[in-house]
Structure 1
């Protein structure tokens, strides 16, 4: 009773008919029974209030004269306790004071005269229920609007907080850039690295690459004995190689290159040139900018943006290509599947002469073996084999994981024939193809 959402419940409208005369109730039953109403009957006010307390009643039609309590008083009581119930007075008494009481105290929808006209009564009942339905729907919608306004206010407060937090975050970034600009006056290289780290903050930690690429090219230059100017330019190129991605969305920044659709791929292929354009106005970094422009060229001439081939690609760009791809393969930015360091080096070795300078690949692998503690590929006793090439006595050089990341075997595990058979079966079941890094038994390693 009184719930504005009651109209959403699938039930017949409840109609309570109150009259002291059985004959009147019988006639009303005959008149209304063919229609889709749930009919309730009462002969006095006490019975009527009992029905109201225990049944769902939408409309009450009450006679004016009843035992114990007259019709206007009953309708006034129902109005107080069940204000959403529509009330109609059915009276043969022309006393205007009685009708006035029903209107003022009971706030009746209307009154009908006895004897009634059947069609008039049916029309009045239908109109009353239609009016009630419309009123309840209005109340429901009003409640819904209020709830939505409350939610909108809460969302607005939340949005304001986010805007304030984002503004503070942007202000913090701006402050950091101001500091970086001051540092840039003294050292473009230091400034380039700081800016590079700021750019990388847009990426989740697992996909942040710039710091690792910078440190890797520095290690390469040191181990290979390259001069300081080459090292400075290459380090700045490593720091700023992806500055052309600043305008990208976060989603595009983290999508693996092999999953980009045509339009995204065109934008991806433009970033080295955009990075160069942004940097060419700064004279001290122009050499680094040229390295950046060509770091996605391929040794076989299929790269971008200028489709340079072989020695026409600057040396620094070829080295930067190796470092960028090595790190991004491990971060899932080139292929959807993230590789470990050894798998990334196997990939680079596989595409030597196509994507990479074949004269640089083995030296790069040796640098990674010296510089990175988790690389085993530089060890001459380590081989990369498929599961069907494994043999008893071989020792795992590094952990073996399934494509879903689940650890299958720990590094140091000595293989036996049942274990090899299980790996082959599991690989077949997964539809995968494992690259297994193993150390050969000592006598085989010497023979190799």
Structure 2
């Protein structure tokens, strides 16, 4: 027999009282008059089970000693066939045997003694029903969440079909997102990178910064053995450090910070806090959001938003400021004059101890030198190929981005024939020529060994 569960939040609880003495049942019914639940009475275990077979019962309170079927046997049956019904024993006997049997076989929630205290009994019932309601709400919400997840899966499955009916530009974007979908399932970090690159499409290419900052931070983490968790937070912070700027006007977003007028300058000083506020609601982003909040603090304590000084600034924030300023100086987003990479490094050196952690500057300069010299090419197995030359089994050595900045594939992705065909299609749609950095497995890099017979012919 399956238990019947209430299906709506407006369900009024049903309480079943079982005792072979009608005077006790009548006393309990009078005590419970006016309570926010309905009371049903049964003078035997058999009658109680007959009632439960006809309607859902939320709580059963049974006397321990009854003829034919005692309370412990009744509650054990209720536990087996109606496990979500709360079970309470009411006993007036000092012998603990019925209580022990009820606990072991009926797994009762509480037991009360006769004569009872009215307030204690009513409080026990209220607490038991409240707990039961909260558990049913939890189960209902879990089921609702599962159903919503299934609905989201169905919506995702139909997304490509809906997008296909849009314009050619939207079709191209949808295909790029489809290509990145597998990567998004495995990496929250990749998701933040995709979002940052989408947000960057609002800016002209010459003013886009996030991709270069991400790559620079990754080079630093790799060279310094930064642990995986910290590296992930730094990468996400690099991807979304300027998300708080998206509400700015186009002219303010592209203007050098040094030339902003008073009102705009105040708004500029608020963007780290705005970025942190947007990201703090996402639990996996909380540590990255803290790095973003403090990435405009200065070593001498004259930064913003909290004027932190020296080592009080989180290490990741100090690194992020170095990377952001190095790239933004070259984009003309800090000073009116747009610097080259060497000038940007000289600027950073000049302001060590004022803007930047002096203990990190020279280390960072070396990382920038490695970043700018394409150190990946120092590996003899790393090749730069066209889409027509790549083959299944090759591994991406560097993120692959479309000409408009959209992330197509993440570094470390093993290529297969289907991905290669999609890359060729995207390249043709963009009218572009991709340079793909791949690591060629040893088996593909070396020619097959000749047999002894073949050697003898040469």
User: What TM bracket, shorter-length normalisation?
Assistant: 0.3 to 0.5
TM-score by length of 1: 0.44
* Greater relative contact order structure (CA < 8 Å, 6+ sep): 2
TM-score by length of 2: 0.43
